[in-house]
Amino acid sequence: MADKPMFEKKNVLVTGGAGFIGSHLCDALLKDARVICLDNFSTSQESNIDHLLKNPDFEFIRHDITQPFDPEAFPELARFKVKFQGIQEIYHLACPTSPKKFEQYRMQTLYANSLGMKNALDLGVRYKAKVIHTSTSVVYGPRPADGHGFREEEFGAVDVLSPRACYDEGKRFAESCCATYKQVHNLDVRIARIFRTYGPRMPLFDGQMIPDFITNALDGVDLEIFGDETFRTSLVYVTDVVDGMIKMMAAPQDIGPVNLGSDIDVPIMDVANRLLEMTGSSSKITFKGELLFMTQLGLPDLTKAKEQLGWIPLITLDEGLKKTIDYTIANKSLLSFKQF
């Protein structure tokens, strides 16, 4: 199978392509590629890709990647000539990421990080495609006591028996799958360790604090922090993460796992207050019990991304929050309707 496009555009597969980050990735890839978007809408929504459905270089397939996927069996992909051209790049993003529904999707999370990872890698072997796996900062374990930024060579520590191990240890296992396929099949597979990301198209009322803060501020409802006033995090804007993944894919060779995130530590109270100011809201800030999936995380050391990929996050927090507010205002009625 050809590992380079035989036609004018390469074929790219994005699993989880209707999700928050995945849909932004599809937007960016369509500038110079044909995109096959796979999603089962477990924690994503069709509205994220509605604007792409009429693009002749885009095709959505509703499919659960934990089940084997044969792109040559779908007549709607005939125009992509997959049988002759193959697939050149695979971005594997599919995995449930719902804070409020985390317990509901534990088995799907486990399968996405094992069977889903296997199926994505098998497609990479079949088509000799380059693969990017979207891992996460949780592979490093809890935020370190000294507050240092995690470097990619750190091993981390995760409780394999914890209630959230299907995600935390699942992501570590998925990285092991990538390493094994590289060693056994000589597959070009790259690992992006993504830190907490925000921006337009995040699901509402799902425990993701930024979109819920904005919606509640606009409605004059209390802003709920799942934790206390000491909750801190880093926040990277979604298009910066997408740019980092594309740079990783375009690199002439794999440089090992790469951190993609912000290295600026931000108290979530400051973010909430900033959003109240930016929206002119009189809402109050309240505190609720921690969610299993929404916890304080460590920060990345970005030296590798900066020096070897020329990547740094460009969107400031104020700029990113403004973009997210504008999107929420423009789509609020539609987004609210989608939740019920």
Give 236-278 pLDDT, tens digit per residue.
Answer: 999 999 999 999 999 999 999 999 999 999 999 999 999 999 9
In 3D space, the residue among 104, 317, 337, 41 whose CA is nearest the CA of residue 215 turns out to be 337
Task: Please tell me the predicted confidence (pLDDT) of residue 294.
Answer: 65
d(CA 149, CA 166): 24
Instruction: Compute how many other C-beta atoms are within 10 angstroms of the C-beta atom of residue 70.
Output: 10
Please, what is the average pLDDT of the chain?
A: 91
Distances in Å between the alpha carbon of 128 and those of 2, 96, 226? Answer: 7, 27, 44
Q: What are 93-105's pLDDT values in tens digits?
A: 999 987 778 888 9
* Amino acid found at 86: G
Distances in Å between the alpha carbon of 161 and those of 47, 137, 166, 235? Answer: 36, 18, 9, 28
Q: What are 175-206's pLDDT values in tens digits?
A: 999 999 999 999 999 999 999 999 999 887 77
Q: Using only C-alpha atoms, what is the Rg of the chain?
A: 20
Task: Please tell me the predicted confidence (pLDDT) of residue 290.
Answer: 75
d(CA 39, CA 18): 6
d(CA 235, CA 194): 11
Residues 206/310, Cβ–Cβ less than 8 Å: no
Task: Please tell me the predicted confidence (pLDDT) of residue 308.
Answer: 97
Is 318 exposed, middle or buried (CB count within 10 Å of its CB: 0-12, 13-18, 19+)?
A: exposed
Exactly one of 91, 127, 140, 167 is catalytic; which is it? 167
d(CA 15, CA 174): 14
Domains of the chain: 10-199+237-261+296-315 (3.40.50.720), 209-230+265-294+323-338 (3.90.25.10)
What is the mean pLDDT for each group of 10 consecutive residues in the chain (340 residues)? 64 97 98 97 90 97 96 96 96 88 90 97 98 96 89 90 91 97 98 96 82 93 88 94 98 96 95 96 89 76 98 97 93 53
Is residue 167 part of the annotated active site? The answer reads: yes
Residues 175/208, Cβ–Cβ less than 8 Å: no
Task: Please tell me the predicted confidence (pLDDT) of residue 337.
Answer: 39
Task: Please tell me the predicted confidence (pLDDT) of residue 293.
Answer: 60
- Give the start-end residues of each E strand in 182-255: 189-194, 197-198, 223-226, 232-233, 236-237
